[in-house]
């Protein structure tokens, strides 16, 4: 099909015009006057699909800038639903290289390039992030060759997009709007035993400090003492959560539906992973209280079923933390 500039413009307009008003989790006046806000784009835990929640992703909006934390499957649609222009994302921060957290940052970059991006975009993440960028650029190449036909010359994608492996905790990024630091969290108890010591995969929490707010994202983690100091005094702690009871019930139903009833050892391994590498509501409450955070926003719900009662995730936090606790839905703004 020959290149059609008018059709291309209509396609771009449709993508950008697909936004709707996001739900808010605090008074509209407070959101409107804040310099910094957080949008929970996707709140589903694990590589699962539900009708209620999208894959994990969050946006930190500081004035006219958007910083993305994780980019699970479908993040472009979630950005459009939230009224956030994907073209204004210059920096992406990946907490860890599990597919539910990193599946679509390359897709986002690909659309940025297709719609004319020529200024740099950088993704930061654990070891393996730079390798993923090389793969994404290779994945984009067939499209880029075709798209270049009939369009003005543009800067090659490999000159626009960059990736930076984070080797250790500390300052990751800063500009005039935000300072971002990383801390290693406790998400890989299992895999740590199967890797050479110098190649053990890392998962990171991120702390965003802006003019008016401190926001901490736990990423995926089990109970992690280092998070107490890292989250100290944060205005908002965005933390993953698992209900082991609901997860076990959901997993049993899933295993029973499989031919032969599934593999019991898989059930045991997954349940152990959830217990060791993720965090219960009670432990989130203890962390929030010890760190003196002002508000807890729960996300990455596991199992996150459509009919899960909110209390299964919030009540345990409230037993140990007296501040506000919100069970986030997709597209909430804080």
Q: Where are the domains of the chain?
A: 28-333
- Alpha-carbon distance of 311 to 186, in angstroms, equals 25
Comparing C-alpha atoms, which of 88, 121, 116 is closest to residue 106?
121
Mean pLDDT of 247-269: 82
- Alpha-carbon distance of 112 to 53, in angstroms, equals 25
What pLDDT sits at residue 151? 83
Contact in structure between 284 and 300 (CB atoms under 8 Å): no
Helix H or strand E encompassing 268: helix 264-277
Comparing C-alpha atoms, which of 236, 318, 229 is closest to residue 281?
318
pLDDT digits (tens, 9 = 90+) for 21-55: 344 565 555 555 568 999 999 999 988 878 999 99
What pLDDT sits at residue 42? 98
Contact in structure between 119 and 154 (CB atoms under 8 Å): no
Take residue 122 and report the two structure tokens written for it. 């950088």
Contact in structure between 69 and 56 (CB atoms under 8 Å): no
- Alpha-carbon distance of 163 to 160, in angstroms, equals 10
Where are any strands of DSSP class E within 7-120?
36-42, 57-62, 65-71, 89-93
Q: Which of 45-49, 76-80, 229-233 has the lowest average pLDDT?
A: 45-49
Comparing C-alpha atoms, which of 277, 176, 133 is closest to residue 218?
277
What pLDDT sits at residue 1? 33
Tell me which long-range contacts 212-215 makes (C-beta under 8 A, separation of at least 24). 212/34, 212/35, 212/36, 213/34, 213/35, 213/36, 215/36, 215/38, 215/60
Question: From the CB of residue 174, how many other CB atoms can be counted at a distance below 10 Å?
Answer: 11
Interacting residues of 318 by C-beta distance below 8 A, sequence separation 6+:
285, 325
pLDDT digits (tens, 9 = 90+) for 150-188: 888 889 999 999 999 998 999 999 999 999 999 999 998
pLDDT digits (tens, 9 = 90+) for 104-121: 999 999 999 999 999 999
How many residues in total does the chain contain? 334
Domain 28-333 top-level CATH class: alpha beta
What pLDDT sits at residue 28? 52
What pLDDT sits at residue 271? 84
What pLDDT sits at residue 2? 36
Statement: the pTM of the whole predicted model exceeds 0.95: no
What pLDDT sits at residue 241? 97
């Amino acid at each position: 099909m020959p290149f059609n500039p008018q059709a291309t413009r209509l396609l771009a307009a449709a993508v950008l015009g697909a936004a709707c008003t996001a739900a808010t989790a605090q008074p509209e006046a407070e959101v409107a006057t804040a310099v910094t806000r957080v949008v929970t784009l996707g709140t589903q835990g694990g590589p699962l699909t539900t009708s209620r929640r999208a894959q994990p992703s969050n946006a930190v909006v500081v004035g006219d800038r958007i910083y993305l934390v994780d980019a699970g499957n479908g993040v472009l649609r979630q950005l459009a639903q939230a009224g956030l222009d994907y073209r204004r994302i210059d920096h992406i921060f990946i907490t860890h290289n599990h597919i539910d957290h990193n599946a679509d940052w390359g897709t986002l970059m690909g659309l940025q390039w297709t719609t004319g991006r020529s200024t740099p975009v950088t993704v930061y993440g654990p070891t393996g992030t730079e390798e993923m960028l090389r793969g994404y650029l290779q994945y984009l190449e067939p499209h880029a060759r075709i798209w270049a036909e009939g369009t003005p010359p543009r800067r090659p994608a490999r000159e626009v997009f960059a990736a930076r492996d984070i080797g250790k905790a500390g300052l990751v990024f800063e500009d005039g709007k935000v300072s971002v630091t990383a801390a290693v969290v406790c998400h890989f108890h299992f895999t740590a035993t199967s890797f050479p010591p110098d190649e053990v995969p890392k998962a990171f929490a991120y702390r965003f400090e802006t003019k008016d707010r401190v926001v901490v994202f736990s990423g995926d983690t089990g109970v992690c003492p280092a998070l107490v100091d890292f989250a100290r005094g944060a205005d908002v702690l965005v933390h993953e959560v698992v209900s082991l009871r609901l997860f076990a019930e959901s997993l049993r139903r899933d295993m029973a539906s499989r031919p032969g009833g599934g593999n019991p050892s898989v059930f045991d391994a997954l349940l152990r992973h959830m217990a060791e590498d993720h965090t219960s509501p009670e432990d989130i409450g203890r962390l929030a209280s010890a760190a003196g955070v002002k508000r807890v926003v729960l996300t990455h719900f596991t199992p996150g079923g459509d009919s899960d009662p909110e209390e299964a995730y919030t009540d345990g936090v409230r037993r140990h933390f007296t501040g506000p606790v919100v069970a986030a839905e997709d597209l909430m703004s804080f």
